[in-house]
Amino acid sequence: MKWYHYVACFFAGLFLANFVPHYIHGVSGDSFPSPFANPPGRGLSSPLVNVLWGLGNLVVGFILARVGRLSKANIYGLIVFFAGIAAISIQLSFAFAGKMH
C-alpha cells in the first residue's frame, strides 16, 4: 500500500467514529453540538441536523475506507484505522464533556 492509503484509513476511522454520536443523538430526538450550531461545535443543533451530519460522516468514512483499501488482510491499515477512531474518540470526549448537562 502507498502512504496515502494509510492516510485514507486514518481519516476513515475519524469520520466513522464521528458518525456515531451525531447519529445516535439525532435519531433519539436529542439536540447535540455540531459544526452547524451557533457557535459552531458549542451550541446545540437540532436532531435532524445531527442525523444528516452523522450520515454525511458515514458516507465520507465509507468512501475513505474504500480509497484506503481497508480490509482485514491489511493489519497495518487496520491499526491506522483504529488509531483514527481512538484519536477522534478521545478528542470528542474532551470536547463534549459537560455539554449535555
- Beta-carbon contacts of 11 under 8 Å, excluding residues fewer than 6 positions away, are 61, 64, 84
Q: Report the alpha-carbon distance of residue 40 to residue 89 in Å, rounded.
A: 19
Q: Report the alpha-carbon distance of residue 83 to residue 67 in Å, rounded.
A: 17
* pLDDT > 60? residue 71: yes
Per residue in 20-58, pLDDT (tens digit) is 999 999 999 999 999 999 998 889 999 999 999 999 999
Torsion of CA 65, 93, 98, 32, to 10 degrees: 0
Q: Pick the residue with more confidence: 89 or 1?
A: 89
Per residue in 73-97, pLDDT (tens digit) is 999 999 999 999 999 999 989 988 8
